[in-house]
């Protein structure tokens, strides 16, 4: 992958007893910390309605260089929940072509 923008998706599970605290930390601390890092352009969370890990986060990243900044290296990972996260998966995707949304008036 060349050093151009892409989508970075992370999926995880966490024990139900820690879900409320994990979700609060993700929204109130992790997202703001990541979005303050150079090259981290947007962030959004999802919950699975099918197979695989329950939680997903999708980020728009300006390039692979964003993973090497001192700011990112300080906040990467799952903070206090690192030992509690299970079934971690990651995928990075680049677009094949332009946006194909229907025109809206």
Distance set, CA 74 to CA 8, 18, 29, 35, 42 (Å): 18, 23, 13, 13, 18
Checking if the pLDDT of 104 tops 70, the result is no
Residue-wise pLDDT tens digits, 27-54 = 999 999 999 999 999 999 999 999 999 9
Q: Based on the number of CB atoms within 10 Å of its own CB, is 44 exposed (0-12), middle (13-18) or buried (19 or more)?
A: exposed
pLDDT band at 78 (very low <50, low <70, confident <90, very high): very high
| pLDDT value of residue 3 | 77
Q: What is the mean pLDDT of residues 97-101?
A: 70
């Amino acid at each position: 992958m060349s050093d151009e923008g892409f989508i970075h998706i992370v999926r995880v599970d966490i024990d139900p007893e820690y879900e409320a605290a994990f979700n609060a930390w993700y929204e109130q601390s992790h997202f703001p910390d990541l979005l303050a890092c150079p090259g981290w352009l947007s962030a959004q969370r999802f919950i699975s309605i099918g197979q695989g890990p329950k939680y997903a986060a999708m980020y728009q990243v300006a390039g692979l260089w964003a993973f090497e900044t001192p700011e990112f290296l300080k906040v990467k990972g799952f903070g206090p929940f690192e030992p509690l996260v299970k079934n971690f998966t990651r995928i990075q995707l680049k677009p094949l072509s332009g946006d194909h949304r229907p025109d809206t008036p």
